[in-house]
């Protein structure tokens, strides 16, 4: 997507690779202590952002579960979290 990192792109052409991108996102989130499933990640490498075409967009949606549930009382099983970001495609 956008400016492909080697961890997110095909080995030969450095073109966008959806599977590698999801793996990269999950690994980075895990380093921050956030566990994401593949279903939590939506990616679109042909998105319109702010009314303009030529962008890639990544959206994340998950439910936050406290690691200290006895100290933080979260009713209903967690707090829904979501975020999205757009990046201009580099062609």
The pLDDT of residue 71 is: 61
- Bigger pLDDT: 12 or 40? 40
The pLDDT of residue 6 is: 76
CA distance 18 to 30: 18
- Name the burial class of residue 21, with classes exposed (0-12), middle (13-18) and buried (19+) by CB atoms within 10 angstroms of its CB: buried
Model confidence, pTM: 0.77
List the domain boundaries for the chain.
6-88
64-87 tens-digit pLDDT:
776 666 666 656 667 788 999 998
29-73 tens-digit pLDDT:
999 888 899 999 999 989 999 999 999 899 999 987 766 666 666
């Amino acid at each position: 997507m956008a400016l492909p990192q080697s961890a997110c792109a095909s080995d030969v052409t450095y073109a966008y690779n959806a599977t590698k991108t999801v793996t990269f996102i999950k690994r980075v989130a895990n380093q921050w202590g956030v566990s994401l499933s593949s279903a939590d990640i939506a990616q679109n490498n042909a998105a319109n952002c702010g009314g303009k075409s030529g962008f890639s967009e990544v959206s994340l949606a998950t439910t936050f579960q406290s690691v200290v549930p006895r100290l933080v009382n979260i009713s209903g099983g967690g707090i829904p979290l979501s975020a999205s970001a757009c990046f201009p495609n580099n062609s």
